[in-house]
Chain A
């Protein structure tokens, strides 16, 4: 089953602009993670934010978490063409449990 929705489903921006993707989930969580998938490839872990954290940064990535609204956002600043990929939020994954993914956002960064 899938945890929830992500929006937008697809996003097209110019290089240098910021990209914001949102994720909602349904159940209580210990953490929320964001993964990136290049076309036809496996997933790469980007960042993990714990339920007691509200914001986290990693390079050009900024993730926020609002547990009261059961939502998270991923911001990519100063986007590059190489950021073109699909981005998924996921919950679970602790204690040898599987991840449950959102539907994903397909990001296209145009040079």
Chain B
């Protein structure tokens, strides 16, 4: 089946620094990718929709200047958490619609810890 990778899988950073997370579709092209955030023991909340060749669409309450999204190619979307703070610590997961039907393929997630 289709594979989506994420890098890094885990990152610890100091407050005020920026962190970039990559999401790649390995064996298929994805003009659209989705970024979710998941806090412990909670569900996935959609942050934004990443569109290849155009601006990302952000969900209400998600700061576009803080969570920068770049969909540089048909296989790569990046999420940059700028000036990270401890409250940004979370599990970030990307997904991409598969080649067929309505299912989506998820990356393994990135655990961010901001100290």
Contact = CB atoms under 8 A, between A and B. Distances in A.
B43 interface: yes
Interface string A1-44: 01000000000000000000000000000110101000011111
A93 B103 contact: yes
A100 B109 contact: no
In which size bucket is the chain A interface?
20 to 34
B46 interface: yes
Interface stretch (A55-63, A64-72, A73-81, A102-110): A102-110
Contact of A102 (B43, B101, B103): B43
Interface in B30-86: 31-32, 34, 41-46, 49
Nearest to A89: B43
Interface residues of B, number: 26
B41 A106 contact: yes
Given A2-B43, A106-B41, A41 B102 contact: no
- A35, A94, A96, A98 — most chain B CB neighbours (10 Å): A98
Nearest to B51: A96
Given A96-B31, A106-B41, A45 B103 contact: yes
A2 B49 CA distance: 16
Interface of A: 2, 30-31, 33, 35, 40-45, 48, 88, 92-94, 96, 98-104, 106
